[in-house]
Amino acid sequence: MSLIDPLRPLYPFAAIVGQERLKTALILNVIDPSLSGVLIRGEKGTAKSTAVRALAALLPDIIVVEGCPFQSDPDDPKAMSSEVRARVAEGESLPTVTRRVRVVELPISATEDRVVGTLDLEHALTEGKKRIEPGLLAAAHRGILYVDEVNLLDDHVVDVLLDSAAMGVNTIEREGISVSHPARFTLIGTMNPEEGELRPQLLDRFGLCVQVEGLAVPEQRVEVIKRRAAFEADPESFGLGWAKETEALRVRIAAAIARRPRLVATDAILLDIAHRCLATGVDGHRADIVMLKTAKALAAWAGRDEVIAADLDEAQTLVLPHRQRRRPFEDVFRPDAA
């Protein structure tokens, strides 16, 4: 597990050339973290990691309980650890700090204990109290969990990540003892399909999926070279040069986050979603639910108060392609083929 150094210069999100679908998918998961993350498929060198790391700089700062390893929110009991809730119940005034949202990276060698955390059984036996040794999911609470080469992770570890992302809770069980803590985070996985595919069951658990490729327009490729050279020569000056665009994105994202809970989807829109999912041949009902959430996030991002058909058109390209049923020997689906 590693935290991205907040003091290390990051390439500005607004300065990324092209890759509009990738950037939109990332922003939608910030607007509505319950989308269960995004899987980014594509060849190396297509700005996947750069975009994920840059995303955190666009997010509003958060207030956390000082010293809490679970990033507890002092204003939301549902986002507090059990220890912090107990302190509140006793009338304690919680010390707080304000900090940037964290991006936590997960190495592909991580074990389940490292991801989930463990229980200190010795402390439980000697003191009669449960004590958690926090894992990756505790560090990622209220932040971004970034898994590069997610297709190379052990399937069981991926299952744990996706379950926590969907439920917003992480449960640690050992020797008959069970402890839970909040684990709400934006899960972002990247993979190169040439190195192996994810099982369809795991693909379905990612809310959105995008395919990224190298830019095909020569002028855009030249712009990539120029911007990257300028960033490497003087990261601070380059960042300042994009400060206005970055702040505009921050303001727009904050407005979309505030607007999303008020979004309305008519029965006609819901019926349209059902028809699209049935026509695509997806299994279960997860696609319908995620598609509605995605459409609402898109409407909020556009500054509207109601979902329209155009939102469904765009949501469909992000939600349905990787969930399509495949027959035996059929080519592996590419998300941009819909």
Is residue 5 scored above 60 in pLDDT?
Answer: no
What average pLDDT does this structure show over 200-207? 77
Residue 216 has a pLDDT of 84
Contact (Cβ atoms closer than 8 angstroms) between residue 190 and residue 19: no
Question: Over pLDDT 90: what percentage of the chain?
Answer: 30
What CATH number does domain 259-337 carry, 1.20.1580.10, 3.40.50.1860, 2.170.190.11, 1.10.8.80?
A: 1.10.8.80
Is residue 171 scored above 90 in pLDDT?
Answer: no
Q: What is the pLDDT of residues 226-253, one digit of tens each?
A: 999 999 999 999 999 999 999 999 899 9
Range ranked top by mean pLDDT from 188-197, 207-216, 247-256: 247-256
Residue 61 has a pLDDT of 81
Average pLDDT over the chain reads 83
Work out the number of other CB atoms within 10 angstroms of the CB of residue 229: 10
Q: Which residues contact 23 (CB under 8 A, 6 or more apart)?
A: 13, 16, 51
Residue 122 has a pLDDT of 63
Between 334 and 47, the higher pLDDT residue: 47
Among the listed residues 41, 286, 304, 326, the single catalytic one is: 286
Is residue 194 scored above 50 in pLDDT?
Answer: yes
* Residue type present at position 33: P
Question: Is beta strand 185-191 parallel, antiparallel or unpaired with respect to 143-148?
Answer: parallel
Report the greatest alpha carbon distance in the chain.
67
Name the token pair of 87. 């302190």
pLDDT confidence band for 329 (50 / 70 / 90): very low
The conformational region for residue 241 under phi > 0 = left, psi -120 to 50 = alpha, else beta, is alpha
Is residue 65 scored above 70 in pLDDT?
Answer: yes
Is residue 286 scored above 90 in pLDDT?
Answer: no
What average pLDDT does this structure show over 258-285? 91
pLDDT confidence band for 332 (50 / 70 / 90): very low
Work out the number of other CB atoms within 10 angstroms of the CB of residue 243: 11
Q: Coil, strand or helix: which one is 189?
A: strand
Contact (Cβ atoms closer than 8 angstroms) between residue 253 and residue 268: no
Residue 128 has a pLDDT of 60
Please confirm, yes or no, whether 100 is among the known catalytic residues: no
What average pLDDT does this structure show over 213-227? 90
Is residue 336 scored above 70 in pLDDT?
Answer: no
Residue 210 has a pLDDT of 92
Residue 326 has a pLDDT of 55
Q: With b meaning 16 or more CB within 10 Å and e meaning fewer, what string describes 285-323?
A: ebbbbbbbbbbbbbbbbeebeebeeebbebbbbbbbbbb
Q: Which residues contact 228 (CB under 8 A, 6 or more apart)?
A: 11
Among the listed ranges 90-94, 129-133, 146-150, which one has the minimum average pLDDT value?
Answer: 129-133
The phi, psi pair for 8, rounded to 5°, reads -75, 135
Domain chopping of the chain, boundaries: 259-337
For 210, the enclosing helix (H) or strand (E) is strand 208-212
Contact (Cβ atoms closer than 8 angstroms) between residue 284 and residue 49: no
Among the listed ranges 185-189, 232-236, 273-277, which one has the minimum average pLDDT value?
Answer: 185-189
In the beta sheet, which residues pair with residue 187? Answer: 145
Work out the number of other CB atoms within 10 angstroms of the CB of residue 55: 24
Residue 91 has a pLDDT of 84
Residue 282 has a pLDDT of 85
